[in-house]
Structure 1
Amino acid sequence: MPAFASLDPAAAPAGDAPVIYIMKRYPRLTETFILNEIRAMERLGAKLHIVSLLPPEPPPHHPMVAEVEAPLHPVPPMSEAAGRRQIAAAHRRAIAAAPGRYLAAFGRAMLFSARSPNPLSVWKQFLRGGVIATLCRSHGIRHIHAHFANAPAAAAWFASMMTGLPFSFTAHAKDLYLTPPQVIRKRALAASFVATCTGYNVKYLAGLLDGETDRIKLVYHGIDLGLFGARRQDAAVREAGETLILSVGRLVPKKGHDDLIAACARLRRQGIAFRCRIIGEGPLRETLQAQIAAHGLDGVVTLDGAMTHADLIALYATANVFALAPRITEDGDRDGIPNVIAEAMAIGVPVVSTRVSGIPELVRDGETGRLVPPRDPAALAAAIEDILADPATARRLAEAGRARLEGEFDLWTTTRRLHALLGCAGCVPQAREGGGTRFRADSPTAPSSLAKASS
C-alpha cells in the first residue's frame, strides 16, 4: 500500500490549484469508468489528487492505473494505532486552521448522528472529512469532488464544512437508490452541483429536490472509442466458428444472469446450437453453476471468471450477440447503464438487454439493440433468437449502436463536460499521450495486466 501522503503544508505542490477526487476505494478493478474519467481529466489538463477512504485493493490492477499521475492519499486506517494518531493530528490541524468552521462541522455531525440509524457511520465520515480538510489545505486544493453519493459524498461534505471549499459528487446507481432519499436531498442541496450518469437518475434526483434542478448535471460514462475502433467484429466471428452469446458482469442478483441461463435453456430446447460465456466473479457463482447443471447446460453455458480487459475486448469481437438482463432487486439496487453494454456496442456486437434504469437511453429497442422486460427469460430468449436468425438486422443494430456511442457517449465529450463543471476549462491539455505513474514497480499498487470485467 502506498504511504499516506505528507500532511505538511510545506509539501504543497506549486502550480494551478488542483481538484481532489474522493472514492471509497482506489484503485478498484470493477470501476474502470472512474479510472477512464481520471485519465481523460488529466489529459485535458486537470491537476488531481485522489483520496481512497479504504485501503487500495491489492494487486492485480488495471494497466491504465499506471497512466494516472495524481498522487494517491489513502485515509489512515482507524483500526490501527498509527492510523488513529495520523487522523488525530490531521484534526488538530483542521481545528487550528479554522476553529469556527471545525466547530460548526462538529455540531452538524452531532445533529446528523442523533437522527441517523447508524451514528457510528456519521462519525466515521466526520473523521475522514477532517483528514481530507487538512489534505486540501496542505496541497492547495480548490474543489472537492466525490464519486458516489454515500460515504464519499458524506466525507466530502464534512471536509467542505471545515475548509469552506465547494464540493460536488457524482451519483451512480446503488449509492443513489440505497441511500435514504432525505440524506441524498441534504447532500445535493449542500453541493455546488451533482453529476449523475443517466437521465433516469436525473429524474429521480429532480423529484427529491422539489424543482431545485439547476444543480443536477447529466454526465454519461464515456467510452474511449479509440480502444475499440480497430476491431473487425464480423471477421472475428467467422474465425471463431461458433455461435457465441456473451455476457459480462459481476455474479450478483441485479445482473440477472439467472434469467439469461433460463433463456439459454429455452434456446437449447428449440434446437439452437450456441455457446454462452458469462465473464465475471461474484457471490452467486455456486448458485448459477447449480442452475446451469439443473438445465443440462454444462459445457454450453460457462462461468469464465475474471478476464484481462485486453482479452475481453478481443472476446467481444467473437460474439454474435451480447446479452445482459439487469433488474431492480428487492432492496432497490439496480444498474445505471452498464459499461459492458457500451463496450460491446463499441466493438460492433448487437446487444439484447432489459428496460431497466438508464439502459433505454443507450439501447433503443429496434434501433440500436433489443430491449425486453426484466425477469422475462422467454422474451430474452426470443430477442436473442431473432438476432441470431437475422444477420442483416443484427448488423444494422450494431452499426446504429456504434453511431449512438459516437454521438453522446464518447469519453472525451463526456469528460469535457465534467472538466468544465469542475472549473478546469482554463487548464492546459497534456501534449503527450498517456502519463507517468506515482506507483513504484515494486509496490503493492504497481499495475498488472489482469483486470476484472467491469460492471
Structure 2
Amino acid sequence: MSRQITLVLKGYPRLSETFIAQEIRALELRGLNITLASLRHPTDKSTHPIHDEIQAPVLYLPEYLHQEPLRLLKGWWKARRMPGYRRCLQHWWQDLKRDCSRNRLRRLGQALVLAAELPPGTEQLYAHFLHTPASVTRYCALLTGLPWSASAHAKDIWTSDAWELREKLAELAWLATCTGANHSYLQGLAADPSRVHLVYHGLDLRRFSAPPSVPQLRDAQQAQDPVRLISVGRAVAKKGYDDLLNALAALPADCAWQLTHIGGGPLLKSLKQQAQALGIDARIQWLGALPQQQVLESYRASDLFVLASKIVDDGDRDGLPNVLMEAQSQGLCCLSTTISGIPELIEHGSTGWLVGPGEPAALTDALQQLLHDPALRTRLGQAGQQRVQQVFDVERGIDQLAELFDLPATTERPAVANPQPCHCDH
C-alpha cells in the first residue's frame, strides 16, 4: 500500500512553479499518494502539460476567511476536539505576539479547515515554501499530531524572521532546500543540522530534449539579423530587470540585439515605461506568461539567455532559478549573476558567464563581449548543457526525496506522457 501525504502549497497550478509540478508528478510515479492543499486559487489562464498528468486531487482552502465563514466554523468545531488543539493555540498565540498581522490569523483559520478536511489515512504533511504554507502545515500538524516536513527555496527563507525559521526547523521531521547557500544558512539555524538536506530541483531532461548542436552565427553586426536575447522570469524586483534594461541601453547604438521577455509580474508596466524612456522599447518583446511548450520553443529560437538576479531591500533573492537549467538544457549560453545558488550551476567562463549582482555596467561589458562572439556563446552553451545533463538531472533529487519519504527504491526511470519535441532555430 502506497504512502499517503497531503502537500500544502501557496497556489496551484502556477506557470511559474514548474519545478513543484515536476516534483509532484515524479513522486506520484514513485508510488506516493498525494493530496494537494492550496492556500490560493489559480490565477494563470493556462497550464503546462505536466499539470494534466498530475493525478493528485486539489483541496482549495479558504483564501480569505470572511469568504467562507461556515466552512471555517465547521473546521473549528471539529478541530477543537483534536488532541493538539490547546498546544496549537498556545504556539499560534506566541507567534501572533511577535507577528501581529491578519495573515497570521488567516494561517490559523486555514490550518483549522485543513485539519478538519484532511483525507482519511493521511500519514504526513509536506509544505512547499517555509513561510506561509509551512505555517499552515505546522499548525495543522500541531492539531493532528501528524509529522510534517517542508521544502525551502528563496523568498520564503530570506524574508522570514530567524526566530520563526528556528522554531519550524526544530519541529519538522526534515527539510529539503535547493541551494548550497540556503543549506548552509538553514543548518546554522537548526538545532539538529542533519534534518536539513541539500536537494537540487534538477530538470526533467525527457521534457527538455536536447536540440542538435548548431554553431552560433549572429555577431550583433547586422541590424537586419540581430542577436536574439531571451529572459524568462516574473517581473519582480529580485530578477533585476531594471538593471538589465539599463545595461542594454548602455550598449553602442550600432550593436544589433533584440530581447524577448516571458513572464508576468507586478512590475511589467513600469519596466515597459523604463524601456520607453531609455529609447530601447522597439527592440523588446514582452510576451507575458506562457505555457512550457512555447517557452521551450523560444529558448530554441534564441542566442543568449540573460537573468540579472539581485538581492532586494527586504532580503528577497533567487535561489537557483529553474529557467537557467531549462535554457542550458537547450545548449543556450546563459549570462547571470553571482547570487545564491547560481554559481553552483554556472561556472563562470566555463559553463556560462557571471557578473556581480546590481552592477549594470558589468552587465553591459558582459553583454557586449557575448553579443559579438558567437563562438564563445556556442562553447559556453554546449558546456552548460553537458553540466546540466551530468549534475542536474531531476531524478537525482527525486531519489533523495523518495528516500526521505521512505518510498521503495526503484531502478526504473518512469516514462513521460508528453515529452517535448525539439524544434531548433538558432
Distance in structure 2 (CA, Å) of the matches to 1:93 and 1:349: 54
Q: 2:21 matched to 1:38?
A: no
Q: Is the 8 A contact 1:45 1:430 kept in 2?
A: no
Deviation at 1:67, TM superposition (A): 0.7
Partner of 1:75: 61
**Once structures 1 and 2 are overlaid, which stretch shifts more, 293-302 or 410-419?**
293-302
Q: Comparing both chains, which one has the higher relative contact order based on Cα–Cα distances under 8 Å and sequence gaps of 6 or more? A: 1
C-alpha deviations, 1:327-374, integer Å up to 9, x for none?
101111111111111111010001110111111111110111010011
**Deviation (angstroms), 1:235:** 7.3
Match of residue 194 from structure 1: 175
- Residues 234 and 317 in structure 1, CA contact (< 8 A), matched pair in contact too: no
Residues 45-444 of structure 1 mapped to structure 2, 5 A cutoff: 45-57=31-43, 59-79=45-65, 83-96=68-81, 98=82, 100-118=83-101, 120-136=102-118, 138-209=119-190, 212-232=192-212, 234=214, 241-269=225-253, 271-425=254-408, 433-434=416-417
Residue of structure 2 in register with 1:441 after alignment: none
Q: 1:432 to 1:344 in 2, by over 3 A?
A: closer
TM-score under structure 2 length normalisation: 0.90
Shift of 1:427: 8.3
- C-alpha distance in 1 between matches for 2:412 and 2:214: 36
Deviations 1:284-324 (A, max 9, x none): 22322222222322322332323332121111112111111
Please name the residue that 2:424 is paired with.
Answer: none
Query: What is the TM-score of this pair, normalised by structure 1?
Result: 0.84
Amino acid in the other structure paired with 1:177: W
Distance 2:168 2:114 in 1: 17
In 1, the alpha carbon distance for the partners of 2:10 and 2:407 equals: 23
Q: Provide the C-alpha distance between the structure 1 equivalents of 2:416 and 2:266, rounded to a whole number of angstroms.
A: 38
Residue 55 of structure 2 aligns to which amino acid in structure 1? E
Cα distance, 1:84 vs structure 2: 2.4
Aligned pair in 2 of structure 1 residues 430, 324: CA closer, same or farther (>3 Å)? Answer: closer
Structure 1 position 20, deviation (Å)? 0.9
Letter in 1 for 2:42: P
Task: Work out the CA distance in 2 between the residues paired with 1:166 and 1:286.
Answer: 44
**Aligned partners of 2:122 and 2:90: how far apart in 1?**
24
CA contact (8 A) 2:228 2:259 kept: yes
* 1:233 to 1:250, Cα distance in 2 relative to 1, 3 A: farther
Maintained 8 Å contact 2:247/2:360? yes
Check the 8 A contact 1:46/1:427 in 2, yes or no: no
Q: Report the AA paired with residue 239 of structure 2.
A: K
Q: For residues 368 and 250 of structure 2, what CA distance do their matches in structure 1 show?
A: 10
Percent identity for Structure 1 against Structure 2: 35
CA deviations 1:379-432 (Å, max 9, x no partner) are 112222222333333222112211221222111221221121122236898976
Q: Which amino acid is 2:92 matched to?
A: A
Is residue 145–residue 167 contact of structure 1 (8 Å, CA) maintained in 2?
A: yes
Distance 1:383 1:101 in 2: 56
Deviations 1:147-172 (A, max 9, x none): 01111101111111122211011111
Deviates more, 1:102-111 or 1:41-50: 102-111
What letter corresponds to residue 197 of structure 1 in structure 2? C
Matched residues, number: 413
- Which amino acid in 1 is paired with 2:104? V
* Larger mean Cα displacement after TM superposition, 195-204 or 223-232: 223-232
CA distance in 2, matches of 1:430, 1:342: 20
Q: Is the 8 A contact 1:233 1:318 kept in 2?
A: no
CA distance in 1, matches of 2:169, 2:366: 39
8 Å Cα contact 2:46-2:291 kept in structure 1: no
Q: Does the Cα contact within 8 Å between 1:50 and 1:70 map onto a contact in 2?
A: yes
Q: CA deviation at 1:38?
A: 0.6
CA contact (8 A) 1:236 1:317 kept: no
How far apart, CA to CA, are the structure 2 residues paired with 1:164 and 1:430? 35
